[in-house]
C-alpha cells in the first residue's frame, strides 16, 4: 500500500511538473510548484509513517514554512505586477 501511495504522489508531482513547463502564466507556475511541494510533503509523510521515524517530521515543518512563504511572496509579486499601468 505504501508503494501505491508514493507512486500516486510521484504521478501528481509529474503532472505539476508538466504544468510548470507549459503553464501559460506566472500564477499557473506558482500553483504547479505548490502542488509539487505538497506532493513531496505527502511522500515524505507516507515514508515517515511507514518507517516510524520522527526525524522526517522536522523536515516536513521546514518544507511547509518555506512553501507557504514562497507562495505568499509570489502572489504578492503577481498582485503588484498587475497594478502597474
At 25-66, the pLDDT tens digits run: 888 999 999 999 999 999 999 999 999 988 899 999 999 999
CB 65 within 8 A of CB 50: no
Using CA atoms, how far apart are residues 66 and 72, in angstroms rounded to an integer?
Answer: 10
What would the pLDDT profile of 14-28 be if each residue is shown by its tens digit?
A: 999 999 999 898 889
Residue 1 grid coordinates? 500500500
CA distances from 64 to 21, 24, 69, 81 (A): 23, 26, 8, 26
Please tell me the pTM assigned to this model: 0.84
CB 33 within 8 A of CB 56: no
Q: What is the CATH number of the domain that holds 7?
A: 1.10.287
Total number of domains constituting the chain = 1
Q: What pLDDT was estimated at residue 36?
A: 94
Distance from the Cα of residue 66 to its chain's centroid: 10
Mean pLDDT for 64-77 is 93
* More confident site: 39 or 1: 39
**What's the domain range around 47?**
2-82
Amino acid at each position: 500500500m505504501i508503494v501505491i501511495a508514493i507512486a500516486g504522489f510521484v504521478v501528481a508531482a509529474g503532472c505539476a511538473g508538466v504544468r510548470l513547463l507549459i503553464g501559460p502564466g506566472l500564477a499557473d507556475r506558482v500553483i504547479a510548484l505548490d502542488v509539487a511541494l505538497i506532493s513531496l510533503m505527502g511522500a515524505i509523510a507516507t515514508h515517515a509513517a511507514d518507517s516510524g521515524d520522527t526525524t522526517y517530521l522536522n523536515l516536513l515543518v521546514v518544507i511547509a514554512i518555506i512553501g507557504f512563504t514562497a507562495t505568499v511572496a509570489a502572489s504578492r509579486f503577481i498582485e503588484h505586477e498587475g497594478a502597474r499601468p
